[in-house]
Structure 1
Amino acid sequence: MLRFMPVGDSMTIGSAGEHTWRYRLWQHLRDTYGGPYALVGPRETLYDKATDAPTSYEYADPDFPRAHLAGWGEGWLHMAPLIAEAVRTQRADVLLVSLGLIDLGFYTNAEQTAENVRRFVAEARTANPRVRMAVLPVIPNVRAAEDAPFAAQVTRFNELLAKAVADLDEPRSPLLLASPPPSYDIHLDTYDGTHPNASGEHKIAAAFADAMHQAWGVGRPYGG
């Protein structure tokens, strides 16, 4: 059984009433992946905006494997210390990682964030030396559209992320840089300039699904 663990920030955990891109990817794998698989992780909840806490189980469709390692306001800085234990206890084979926006927005600059990427990878491999990782670059949000220095940090981090993935990729534990969704539009695919709506969820799921299909032969292209 192939065990996928979504790792991310607010765009991955989602909030009450949403499907999440995790759900969209699960649907895709259910329909296209030929072998047994599971979504795994130490958490299951959505973020509840009313209580400002990750306590909601009110998925738009709760009937799917909801496990993940994602948190509202959490980034590479927060996940690097947690990933080894999560990979070990959940026996994760593939990490689907979407992190970085919150780091750059509040915690670390591009270079510091890239160092946390490298720490994350090293920690994950201590728990599973053969773990595979598909990593999504930061998708610029509404702040990047209005704040030029922040936009420059996003661009710089994505360059450093690509370098880290190339440097750290190895045959027994491959790293894969997914392509940002080419048609992603923060005015059409988010509800607030950052967090995905239904169309955004599909496009993020497609970014991971297409990357894994092209590089590793997992499933079929999204929508295919």
Structure 2
Amino acid sequence: MIAVITLAHDLDMTHQDLRRRLDLASSARPNLGRPRDHYTAIDTFLAIASRHNAAMVDAIAPLVRDLPGGHDLAHEYLAASRSYEEALALVKARLYGSIYAVGRPWPGIWAEVHRELEAVCALELRLAEALLAEDDHTGDGPQDLGARLHHAELASPTRPHPWIPHQGVTGHLARVVARRVDRFWDAAEGRMVPEPVRHHDRTHQGRLTQYLLADPHLDADE
């Protein structure tokens, strides 16, 4: 029987994956023969980070806001989430040569992303703790929150959008529109974005699928 994975455990695994991908992205370097080689690592990190961040804002933060005493924690998380998304947008702007970011050195940009990621990760775990401490926050039990987050990731934007509305119905609709726009450009650019997979259910992806998506997660003994 497959063990039930809690939201807190799913988040911990996601944070490990994001840190690993950020390390790969921040250490990627172009070379004279293949000047765009670093794009893949950076763009994949941006896609996964943006999608997870938007899903947390859409699916988890509102649940915490509705808890008794949860408003301040949700507000703190949303503020940190927006700052994190602004840092991701700066990476995207620098990568694609925006005049607003071309003068910013990469080490400073990556240091900012690392700092914002750690702040958001800590707050996400606090959100999970607040929800898991509330026995009847949804009436379905805490194990359903991992599925809720996973489904939200499937429908979330794959690019950072820090300047669209983030809260309430307006924020949700803005993310729906952003996801449709991102999906169009992903297809037009041939962008490969790994599908979000719940961490206890990754075995359905064969080795070839993992290779094509640049998303290896084979067991250590393989």
Q: Same fold (TM over 0.5)?
A: no
Structure with a larger share of its residues in helix: 2
Structure with a larger share of its residues in strand: 1
Q: Which has the larger radius of gyration?
A: 2
TM-score (ref. length: structure 2): 0.28
